[in-house]
Structures are given as C-alpha cells and as structure tokens.
Amino acid sequence: MQEHKVLVANRGEIAMRIVQACRKLGLDFVCVYTHEDRHSGHVALARSLGGERAACRVSSYHDANELMAVADHAGATAVHPGYGFFAEDFRFARRATNRDRKLIFIGPSWRVIRELGDKINTKRLARSLGVPTVPGSDKPIYDELEAEDIAASLFAFQAEQGIKRPMVLVKASAGGGGMGIEEVLDPDMFRAVYRRVRNYSRRQFHDEGVLIEQRIEDFNHLEVQVVSDRSGKNPVHFGTRNCTVQSTGRQKRIEVAPGFAPSEIAYTFDAQKVLDDIIGHSLTLARKVGYDSVGTWEWIVTRQGEPYLMEVNTRIQVENGVSAAISRIRGKNGVDIIAEQIRTGLGEPLGYTQEDVTFEGVGIEYRIIAEAPEDRFAPWVGRIDEFRWRDEPWLALHTQIPTDVAYDIPTEYDPNLALAIIWGKDLSEAKARGRGFLDGLTLKGENRQGGMRSNIAFLGDRTERLLVF
C-alpha cells in the first residue's frame, strides 16, 4: 500500500485531515490550491509535510481536468475527493477509474455513487427491502388523477396519525437542490399547485414527472455512519449521530454522537429501538448495493418515533470525527474514519467486524463559522487576527486558520473556520466540557464594518437542549 500517492482534491479543513491521515498511513500525497487559498492552512501543511512540490496551484477546485493533470504530473495513483466538489460525482469517479492513467477513487465505486445518488432510485431500493421511507410516491407521477388520489390519501393518512397541520410536498422529480418544490396545506389547493409544479418541471427539465410526499415538519435529523471495504460484503457501522441543530438554511451546526441518549433523557418513544432500527436498515441497504467505502445514511425521526430514510451520502462527512470520538476498535481509542476510508479504498480489507467495534461516551462537534446567526446566518468576511483555544485531552480541533499570523477569509468559499470535537463520558459531561470550551475560546478579527461576527454564542445556546426531542 505504501507505494500509493494520493491526490487531495479538496481544500481547507478536510484537505488537512486527509493529509494527516495519509501521513499516518505512510502514504505520499499531493495537494491543490487556488490563488485565493494560497494562505490556507492546508497549503502550509502540505508544504511542511511534503515539501515545496506537494502543493500545486490550479485554476479551480471544480475543474476535474486540473485535478487529473496534477495527479498525472505528480504521479498520483489515487484521488481523495473529500466532501463537496467531486465527492459524490459519479462521473468524476468513473473518469478516475476508466481513464488511461488510472486513479483509485477513494470513495464508493462509481456505480454505487450513481445508484444511490438518484433519490427516487434510493427510495425504491429502500422500499424493496422493507426500509421505511417518507410516505408518498416512489416514482414520478404523470397523471393528474393519480396525483390527486395520492395527495388525498396523504392528507387522510396524516389526519389519522393525529398530525395537526397535515401537509403535502409536491416536487419536480427531475429537479434537485430545492428547485421546483412546493408545499400544500389545503387539499383544495392541490390541483393548482400540482399544475404549477408540473408546468415548471416541463419548462425547466423537459419532464412532467412529479413526486408527492408527506411534508414532515417536526423531526430530528439522524445519521448512521457506515464503513465497508472494497469487498462490499461486510459493512460495519460506527454508530449514529444527531444533526438536528442547523442554521435557517438547513446547514448543520452541531452534531452529537450517539443520536439519542435514552439513559439520560426521557423520550416519548423507544429511542434505543429507533437507533437500533435505523442501524439495521442502513446496513441492510449497504449490503444490498455492495457498498464499498465510507458513507452516511441520513434519516429523519418524527416525534412519534417513526424513522424514514432520506438519502445516502456516498462520501466522508464533515462530522465523521464525532463518531470516531465515541468509537473503539477492539477497545482501542483513536479511531480515524478518514484513514479507514483511504486504507480500505486502496484495497486493504477492513480487518475487523462489527463485534470489534464498541462505543464509549458522547461526542459533540461544533462548527465554528464566521457568520451572524441573528441575521439569518449571513456570512461574515474579513481578517482574523487572533484565534486561540486551550488544548484538552478530550478536545480535537481542526482548522485551516493559521494561529500565528492574521488570515483573510477568502470570499470564494464558505466561511467555515474550525471544527471542535469534544468528548465526555456521558452527555452531561460532554455538554459541560463543550460549554467550557466555547467560553474559553478567543476569536478576534475585523473588517471595514467593524468587529468579528461568529456563531459561538449560538452554539453555546444550543448546547443546553442537545438530544432533547
């Protein structure tokens, strides 16, 4: 395995963690960066660990051609996409795999990415295995009468469940990224909304297909961390996470592992059973598709304790560290899911089974971001003059912000500054340590409008009610 060289096709914090994982595994690596990112920590780290030529300037992280060219030039044999950018782009994975100078794509095989990247396909796959999904259609509906019929049943179905404000979601089946989605509260309005979405879809995507689903408002967002090797036969899970604390734009801000804490908090449903169920379902689906890398199964759990599979993220996630923090392999601490992804991606077998994985304590991950939560989480751009925290044995902090010099936040990318992962033996200890960490954090900076804005207060605020549902 040591003869491999990994192209780190990403930036910032995740690029740094990939570089560190490569080092840990004794692998050579090469990074890329853009002009705007020339002062980013990942460039400095790459150069300090790999020499001057370990970071290559490219025109854009979005240009696959640049990445391939750099990989060939540097003699890379594998590419790690991180998250975002090309992480879930099956065409990129396919290109890496199929091109003349082959690159191992550190992630699932491109067919798996494609299969699970299609939400309708995932939903149907889930239903075929008895995995619960959001009530509604699992195929594009083209017929108006059929659509009305489904909507009517959905309203009746919710009424029966005692939902106060039954709601139906109408979305263009060919759409994505929030485009062509509308809510219906009043059954009499359905036809008008349906036609509007259908016409929009026809104009925009040249397809009249429409999906009709229950709109669930009151839920917790849970995830199951799955890891598998290239055989795709024996996936293991690294527990659950709860990612319910989000910004108004549905961006995660705090993640907690495990997903619920039934031993410390009372729930109206059997929380432990829900966690067990979603883990079981996730692994069933992973086995079915032959999932061969690290991935996350996203679930929503309603107040009634009903879990529904939303989608599968076929990539490493920002919050992988919080699961690692509570996981032990054969009782040993220091699990690194990124390293596991690289190791198995390059072809090594997993080397352990589910019995070897145990869990201990509670992890909390804070995403420290330059933004103004009170102003709809508007991003803040400027210069960071000071960023300091106290090192603790229970704290892992990942950041691309240099701590010794001032740093201008590049406007081209999200203003994520750091990830702080806190561990405690139980939820209350983790929460207490988290509050302590946030209180002791120094983050100063300014721009022409004035002083630095960040979400630290927001994070502290939300720590109190973590995992309460």
SS3 content of the chain, % helix, strand, coil (to 5): 35, 25, 40
Gap between the Cα atoms of 154 and 156, Å rounded:
5
Using CB under 8 A as the binding rule, whether residue 277 contacts another protein is answered as no
In angstroms, give the least distance from the CB of 223 to another protein.
Answer: 22
3-state SS assignment for residue 243: strand
Among 13, 37, 88, 138, binds another protein (CB under 8 A): 138
Cα–Cα distances in angstroms (integers) from residue 24 to residues 12, 29, 334, 342, 347, in the given order? 19, 12, 12, 11, 17
C-alpha torsion angle, residues 441, 447, 451, 456 (rounded to 10)? -40
Spell out the alpha helix ranges (H) of 32-143.
41-50, 64-74, 90-98, 110-117, 119-128
Gap between the Cα atoms of 129 and 65, Å rounded:
39
Say whether the peptide bond before residue 258 is cis (omega within 30 degrees of 0).
Answer: yes
Using CB under 8 A as the binding rule, whether residue 144 contacts another protein is answered as no
Among 1, 48, 73, 461, binds another protein (CB under 8 A): 73
Which two tokens mark 467? 């995992």
Q: Are 1 and 25 in contact (CB under 8 A)?
A: yes
Using CB under 8 A as the binding rule, whether residue 132 contacts another protein is answered as yes
Q: Mask of contacts with another protein, 278-297, x by CB under 8 A?
A: --------------------
Using CB under 8 A as the binding rule, whether residue 448 contacts another protein is answered as yes
Q: Is 315 among the catalytic positions?
A: yes
Using CB under 8 A as the binding rule, whether residue 164 contacts another protein is answered as no
Pick the piece of the chain touching another protein (CB under 8 A) from 22-30, 131-139, 273-281, 295-303.
131-139
Using CB under 8 A as the binding rule, whether residue 70 contacts another protein is answered as yes
Identify the DSSP state of 337: H
Nearest to 143 by CA among 81, 76, 78, 210: 210
Using CB under 8 A as the binding rule, whether residue 52 contacts another protein is answered as no
Angle at 422 between CA 418 and CA 423, to 5 degrees: 155
Which two tokens mark 259? 């997903």
Nearest to 290 by CA among 249, 352, 211, 232: 232
17, 198, 315, 343: the catalytic one is 315
Using CB under 8 A as the binding rule, whether residue 115 contacts another protein is answered as no
Using CB under 8 A as the binding rule, whether residue 66 contacts another protein is answered as yes
Residue placing its CB nearer to another protein in the complex, 105 or 437: 105
Residue placing its CB nearer to another protein in the complex, 238 or 380: 380
In angstroms, give the least distance from the CB of 390 to another protein.
Answer: 30
Using CB under 8 A as the binding rule, whether residue 35 contacts another protein is answered as yes
Gap between the Cα atoms of 364 and 464, Å rounded:
12
Q: Mask of contacts with another protein, 384-403, x by CB under 8 A?
A: --------------------
Pick the piece of the chain touching another protein (CB under 8 A) from 273-281, 314-322, 377-385, 451-459.
377-385
> Which 191-250 residues touch another protein, going by CB under 8 A?
206-207, 214
In angstroms, give the least distance from the CB of 66 to another protein.
Answer: 5
Using CB under 8 A as the binding rule, whether residue 99 contacts another protein is answered as yes
Task: Return the biggest CA–CA distance within the chain.
Answer: 66
Q: Which residues are near another protein by CB under 8 A?
A: 34-36, 56-60, 62-66, 68-70, 73, 91, 94-95, 98-100, 124, 127-128, 132-133, 135-139, 150, 153-154, 156-157, 159-160, 206-207, 214, 378-379, 381, 411-412, 414-415, 447-448
What is the set of active-site residues? 315
